[in-house]
Structure 1
Amino acid sequence: MKLIKLIEDKNLDGILITDLVNLRYFTGFTGTTGIALATKKGKYFFVDFRYVAQANEEVIPNGFEVILIERPAENKISEILKDEKIVKLGIEDRNVTLSAYNGYVEKFKDIKFISLGDNFTRIRMVKTEAEIENIKKAAEIADKAFASILPLIKEGAVENDIKTELEYEMKKLGAEGPSFDTIIASNYRSAMPHGVASEKKIDRDGFVKFDFGCFYKGYASDMTRTIYYGDRPSEKHLDIYNTVLEAQLKAIDAIKVGTSTRELDKIARDHITSKGYGENFGHGLGHGVGLEIHELPNLSGKSEDFILQENMVITIEPGIYIDGFGGVRIEDDVVVKKGGYEILNNTTKELMIIK
């Protein structure tokens, strides 16, 4: 229904889908090679011999006819375009390579290609209950895996070694794999917003920032916790941490249907600025999460403003980063609910001190 509505809304004759994430969303296909075509008359899924059985199992229940093709698929697609007199064909211009587009122009004669822009990602912004359950499970796995690796935080422990154990624990708990390159940044490296795990050894008396997540049934989680490793955090460590935590809680508390994403960003940013750290918060407050780790809506004062809708899943992740000293980020996955919100992560946000 969503594809047909998009065809009607954009006054198209059909839509061609090649991006694997969009294929999974609209057809249910979890393989690595396939093309879908939706028209006013039918929905077709083109696949070669390797994936016929899988496609029959996954896409037929979603209303697609499976068509076995010999590569390239464009030959068979062209036949259907001609039979159904397709003229205006929507394509994923943000995902299609130049070479693929040139191939379409050559094969699909007399077709007018229409840019779909971010229409698919906008459709995916609002989640179904099943999607939310998958994200919730991914968040639960991340919570449990994080708790299991905390005893590994010792002087001389290597960031990459801890990353390996964390990702292994997530897989043991049912994850398909990490949802992005795991960030573990200790001491001065914690000031790097995207400081992925390195060969650095952890030293005492500093922050250790963990930003990680996993895929479960195709859906991602995204969580950040910052701990302190040492006997006693300094007043500066405590001030930075508490400022970030307060900003995060204020932003989460303001989540409700109809709220502007820019307003949420402003709430967190204004608090951090009031404490003297405004220049040290250089990224947006958060983003949507789903089949991809970064989806719409964006939560930022510098990008397009969005209005929160029920069943959007967003991250709230303010941070403060001070070069040469360290940094703090705290992040949760949050579902926008009719009466407010639901936080999917259960790991404490009080500063954990590991001695």
Structure 2
Amino acid sequence: MSTATPDFAARRARVLEHLAKDSDGENFDGLLITDLNNVRYLTGFSGSAGTAFLATDGQTFFATDSRYAEQVKTELDPGVEVEITSNYAGSVVSAALGTRGGLVGIDDANLTVAQLAGLRDEFAALAHGIEFHSAGGHVEQARRIKDDVEVEIIARACTVADEAWTALVEAGQITAGRTERQVAADLEWHMRQAGSDGVSFDTIVGSGPNGALPHYHAGDRELASGDLVVVDFGAYVFGYASDCTRTVGIGTLGDWQREIYEVTLAAQRAGTSAVIDGTTCKDADSAAREVISDAGFGEYFGHSLGHGVGLDVHESPGLSQSSSSTLLRGDVVTVEPGIYLPGRGGVRIEDTMVVTDGAPRVLTTTSKELLEL
């Protein structure tokens, strides 16, 4: 898959704008970036070790070790200064601020107490007058609204997942006698074959009573005739995730199973219809939740309706009753209502979609009609 090159400089500029607006009066000289997905978003680096520093004067510094010396030559945005070292954070702060001192913003959600203490000790010993204060969330704010390049990559990740699901069903690999673990392994293999760089989370295959556990993992239980099977899966493509859930039946299902499936599907459609620019996340959640509650299953839908998707499979915004956010054009979110009956089974139906000026663009497009395999 070929894709346009992201405008990393524009991304960095947006982050610095957020920092300037929301710094609570503190005059930061730069922002230390340690979370690897944030590093990737701002520089293009996809490796597993490295730290970036965004100086408020517009310069960007990046440090990694010798394992990635060749990789950075092809991946890193040309506007980033690179140093190969084992002291990532210390190196980029020193390169940016030297001996003149300054105030460094840190994302405390992604920096351990021990790492912060080490940095403070290192620069205190050098007497450079560098201080570290909390300045978390600015990169995540910028990451929330996806640009056209990001949307098309996520769309490709969704297509990969769709192709894998179709291949799994057509190969007859969801059938009685096979274990949940076998089904998960086959699905992940199909995603690899379709072009996935990896799975965006551990594949969930919950059969029979295990389907009533929303975040169950695939185990050794054998699928049996009469089971509902919840399959939650996603692919990574160029670092971006997809997220999709389908629920199927093994053999002939009972009336109660068809009922909770149809109620969940109606709720999913209602939630999808509510994913509109300007709608509150709480109202989107309510649109789906009311369908399930009106059918008498409200107590069996405990989690939120959905979440943002991007470089992380769970991002802002959250679609929940506790959310104060409003959906915005360019948000990529999931809509995933479910009904979970303890000891009996469950249903979840989930799509990934993009908020537009009108109806959402649904990126996961395999059929949601109930399959009895």
- What band does the TM-score fall into relative to the shorter chain? over 0.9
Q: Distance in 2 between matches of 1:90 and 1:84?
A: 17
1:21 to 37, 57, 62: 37
| 1:118 alignment partner in structure 2 | 137
SS at match of 2:108: coil
Structure 1: 4+ residue segments shifted above 6 A: none
Indicate if the aligned counterparts of 1:13 and 1:86 stay in contact, CA closer than 8 A: no
2:199 to 178, 183, 190: 178
Q: CA deviation at 1:155?
A: 1.5
Q: Distance in 2 between matches of 1:78 and 1:330?
A: 46
Indicate if the aligned counterparts of 1:60 and 1:66 stay in contact, CA closer than 8 A: no
Is residue 2:333 matched to residue 1:314?
yes
Indicate if the aligned counterparts of 2:62 and 2:92 stay in contact, CA closer than 8 A: no
Q: How many residue pairs get matched?
A: 350
Is residue 2:21 matched to residue 1:4?
no
Is residue 2:117 matched to residue 1:102?
yes
The residue identity in structure 2 corresponding to 1:222 is D
Q: Distance in 1 between matches of 2:33 and 2:243?
A: 27
TM-score in terms of structure 2 length: 0.90
2:107 to 92, 113, 129: 92
| 1:136 alignment partner in structure 2 | 155
Q: CA deviation at 1:26?
A: 0.6
1:51 to 52, 55, 68: 68
Q: CA deviation at 1:73?
A: 3.4
1:285 to 292, 296, 305: 305
Residues 115-139 of structure 1 deviation map (CA, whole Å, 9 limit, x = unaligned): 2232222211100111111111111
The residue identity in structure 1 corresponding to 2:117 is N
Q: CA deviation at 1:340?
A: 2.6
Q: Distance in 1 between matches of 2:211 and 2:328?
A: 33
The residue identity in structure 1 corresponding to 2:278 is G
The residue identity in structure 2 corresponding to 1:50 is R
Indicate if the aligned counterparts of 2:51 and 2:92 stay in contact, CA closer than 8 A: no
SS at match of 1:340: coil
Deviation larger for 74-83 or 14-23: 74-83
Q: Distance in 1 between matches of 2:91 and 2:216?
A: 47
Q: Distance in 2 between matches of 1:306 and 1:261?
A: 6
Kindly tell me: are residues 341 and 82 of structure 1, through their superposed partners in 2, closer, same or farther at Cα, counting changes over 3 Å?
closer
| 2:274 alignment partner in structure 1 | 254
Indicate if the aligned counterparts of 2:244 and 2:352 stay in contact, CA closer than 8 A: yes
Q: Distance in 1 between matches of 2:295 and 2:19?
A: 50
Between the aligned residues of both structures, percent identity stands at 38
TM-score in terms of structure 1 length: 0.95
The residue identity in structure 1 corresponding to 2:283 is E
Q: Structure 2 unaligned runs (5+)? A: 1-12
Kindly tell me: are residues 34 and 66 of structure 1, through their superposed partners in 2, closer, same or farther at Cα, counting changes over 3 Å?
same
SS at match of 2:54: strand
Q: Structure 1 unaligned runs (5+)? A: none
Is residue 2:316 matched to residue 1:296?
yes
Q: Distance in 2 between matches of 1:136 and 1:337?
A: 14
1:220 to 236, 241, 247: 241
SS at match of 2:343: coil
1:269 to 265, 274, 289: 289
Q: CA deviation at 1:74?
A: 4.6
The residue identity in structure 1 corresponding to 2:17 is K
Q: How does 1:130-169 map to 2 (within 5 A)?
A: 130-150=149-169, 151-169=172-190
Q: Distance in 2 between matches of 1:236 and 1:318?
A: 17
Indicate if the aligned counterparts of 2:32 and 2:89 stay in contact, CA closer than 8 A: no
Q: CA deviation at 1:149?
A: 1.3
Kindly tell me: are residues 108 and 2 of structure 1, through their superposed partners in 2, closer, same or farther at Cα, counting changes over 3 Å?
farther
RMSD: 1.5
| 1:202 alignment partner in structure 2 | 223
The residue identity in structure 1 corresponding to 2:227 is G
Q: CA deviation at 1:324?
A: 1.6
Is residue 2:345 matched to residue 1:326?
yes
Deviation larger for 170-179 or 36-45: 36-45
Q: Distance in 1 between matches of 2:97 and 2:68?
A: 26
